[in-house]
């Protein structure tokens, strides 16, 4: 998995260097993340998202995307009373943080004050569940959004992504919704 991620990232980096971007944008904002890290229920976490996009063509850019989300999740466990077999299944709440680093192409088009976009990104995710451990996995994101131009170089972004991870040997289907400020250069 690590070799696949390294190959994909080097392919995108090589393409980006060959087409030195002369324009692009920087985004930073609030992010809501709904994850199914546990088999018991889904967790609603809050955090941030930041991205840097360099345009290689007027309608196509390469984007590097970073995020961090924080909250708590109900996790399954086992309690084994002293001198009282058998062990019984229990649920415990754990503080959870997840960070993702993704890179990939983004297609967009400007229509008046609006700039809709679609993206497909690949990279690495890392989760830390206090008292349950941590894990790193391959991550993918498919989604899109809309930038609304406020003034010449500043816009407001609304973005939604489906993020897939595979932490602790299980498959997670996550939803990430973000909003914040975009500065174009």
Q: Which residues have CB under 8 Å from 148's CB, separation 6+? A: 113, 114, 155, 156, 157, 158
**How confident is the model at residue 17, as a pLDDT?**
52
pLDDT at position 10 is 66
How far is residue 78's CA from residue 33's CA, in Å, rounded to a whole number? 28
Angstrom distance (rounded) from CA 100 to CA 95:
17
Q: 111: helix, coil or strand?
A: strand
Question: Per residue in 96-120, pLDDT tens?
Answer: 999 999 999 999 999 999 999 999 9
Under the banding of pLDDT at 50, 70 and 90, the label for residue 133 is: confident
Residue 168 DSSP code: G
* Residue scoring higher pLDDT (113 or 91): 113
Quick: pLDDT tens for 119-131: 999 999 999 988 7
Rg of the Cα atoms in the chain: 19
In the chain, DSSP assigns E strands to 24-35, 43-57, 60-79, 88-108, 114-129, 133-151, 154-165, 172-184
Identify the sign of the CA torsion 176, 13, 97, 157: negative
pLDDT exceeds 90 at position 74: no
Q: What is the reported pLDDT for 79?
A: 74
0.95 exceeded by the pTM? no
Q: Which two tokens stand for residue 143?
A: 């989604």
Q: How many Cβ atoms sit within 10 Å of the Cβ of residue 183?
A: 12
The overall average pLDDT reported for the chain is 88
Torsion of CA 24, 26, 32, 34, to 10 degrees: 50
């Amino acid at each position: 998995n690590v070799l696949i991620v390294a190959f994909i990232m080097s392919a995108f980096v090589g393409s980006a260097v060959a087409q030195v971007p002369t324009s692009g944008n920087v985004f930073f904002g609030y992010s809501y993340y709904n994850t199914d890290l546990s088999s018991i229920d889904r967790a609603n976490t809050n955090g941030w998202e930041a991205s840097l996009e360099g345009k290689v063509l007027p309608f196509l850019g390469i984007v590097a995307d970073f995020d961090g989300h924080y909250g708590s999740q109900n996790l399954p466990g086992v309690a084994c009373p002293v001198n009282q077999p058998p062990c019984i299944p229990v649920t415990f709440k754990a503080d959870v943080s997840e960070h993702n680093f993704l890179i990939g192409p983004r297609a967009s088009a400007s229509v008046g004050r609006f700039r809709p976009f679609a993206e497909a990104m690949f990279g690495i995710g890392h989760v830390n569940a206090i008292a349950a451990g941590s894990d790193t996995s391959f991550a993918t994101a498919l989604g899109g959004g809309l930038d609304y131009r406020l003034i010449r170089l500043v816009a407001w972004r609304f973005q939604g992504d489906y993020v897939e991870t595979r932490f602790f040997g299980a498959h997670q289907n996550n939803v990430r919704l973000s909003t914040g400020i975009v500065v174009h250069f």
